[in-house]
């Protein structure tokens, strides 16, 4: 909860990846709040009120996952909506704003996105943004498992990372602009 809140405020892409990891962790703990309390919540050194908030956050997330039928795979709707917002920003930067830096980063990632889409068998209905996030998440899991990653894969992940990082910065800028009071 504490990490998610901070990531959501500072880097929306890291937030999405983190939350996907939390979903997988909850699945590994069989969506059982008692196991989550024992293995996760008890690990936080926090006062009782904060600890209770953390427990309630995980309990609520479990309830959402069950309600939305993503107990075994998939993502909760709130995260899908966030990825959709990033995808909309992606198209806005490319086609309306004509952001040259972003266009350059997307061009660098384009070949790797095509190759990753083909190798992973992902449909064309999945946006390039979601595809890049999926690739980065898979790469994160490989690194956590200390598995060797082919140098070409590392290069591809770097191109995805740069594209997504820039998108996250622009997302934060737009969010801050929207939430800044206008002077009269």
Average pLDDT value for the chain: 93
Residues 57 and 87 in one domain: no
Average pLDDT over residues 121-141: 95
Long-range own/partner contacts, residues 41-44 (CB < 8 A, 24 or more apart):
44/2
Q: What is the pLDDT of residues 35-50, one digit of tens each?
A: 999 999 998 888 999 9
Instruction: Tell whether the model's pLDDT for residue 183 goes beyond 70.
Output: no
Q: Do 58 and 48 form a contact (C-beta atoms < 8 A)?
A: no
Residues 134 and 168 in one domain: yes
Residues 84 and 147 in one domain: yes
Residues 139 and 96 in one domain: yes
pLDDT at 184: 55
Q: Is the residue at 183 inside a domain?
A: no
Domain end (from 25, 43, 67): 67
Structural domain for 39, as ranges:
2-67
Question: The whole model's pTM is what?
Answer: 0.91
Three-class SS of the chain? CHHHHHHHHHCHHHHHHHHHHHHHHHHHCCCCHHHHHHHCHHHCCCCHHHHHHHHHHHHHHHHHHHHCCCCCCCCCHHHHHHHHHHHHHHHHHHHHCCCHHHHHHHHHHHHHHHHHHHHHCCCCCCCHHHHHHHHHHHHHHHHHCCCCCCHHHHHHHHHHHHHHHHHHHHHHHHHHHHCCCCCC
Q: If pLDDT is split at 50, 70 and 90, which confidence band does 156 have?
A: very high
pLDDT at 182: 63
Backbone dihedral region of 78: left (phi > 0), alpha (psi from -120 to 50 degrees) or beta? alpha
pLDDT at 161: 97
pLDDT at 65: 98
pLDDT at 178: 82
Average pLDDT over residues 56-76: 97
Nearest to 16 by CA among 96, 103, 75: 75
pLDDT at 120: 92
Domain end (from 37, 67, 97): 67
pLDDT at 5: 86
Q: What is the pLDDT of residues 73-129, one digit of tens each?
A: 999 999 999 999 999 999 999 999 999 999 999 999 999 999 999 999 999 999 999
Q: Is the residue at 72 inside a domain?
A: no
Instruction: Tell whether the model's pLDDT for residue 181 goes beyond 80.
Output: no
């Amino acid at each position: 909860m504490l990490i998610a809140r901070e990531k959501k405020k500072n880097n929306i892409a890291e937030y999405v990846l983190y939350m996907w990891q939390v979903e997988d962790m909850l699945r590994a703990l069989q969506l059982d709040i008692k196991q989550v309390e024992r293995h996760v919540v008890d690990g936080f050194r926090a006062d009782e009120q904060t600890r209770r908030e953390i427990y309630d956050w995980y309990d609520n997330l479990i309830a959402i996952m069950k309600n939305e039928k993503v107990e075994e795979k998939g993502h909760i709707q709130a995260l899908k909506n966030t990825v959709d917002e990033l995808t909309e920003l992606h198209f806005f930067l490319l086609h309306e704003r004509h952001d040259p830096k972003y266009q350059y980063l997307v061009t660098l990632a384009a070949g790797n996105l095509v190759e990753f889409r083909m190798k992973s068998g992902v449909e064309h209905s999945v946006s390039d943004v979601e595809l890049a996030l999926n690739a980065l998440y898979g790469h994160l899991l490989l690194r956590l498992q200390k598995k060797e990653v082919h140098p070409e894969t590392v290069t591809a992940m770097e191109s995805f990372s740069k594209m997504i990082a820039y998108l996250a910065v622009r997302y934060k800028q737009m969010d801050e602009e929207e939430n800044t009071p206008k002077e009269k």
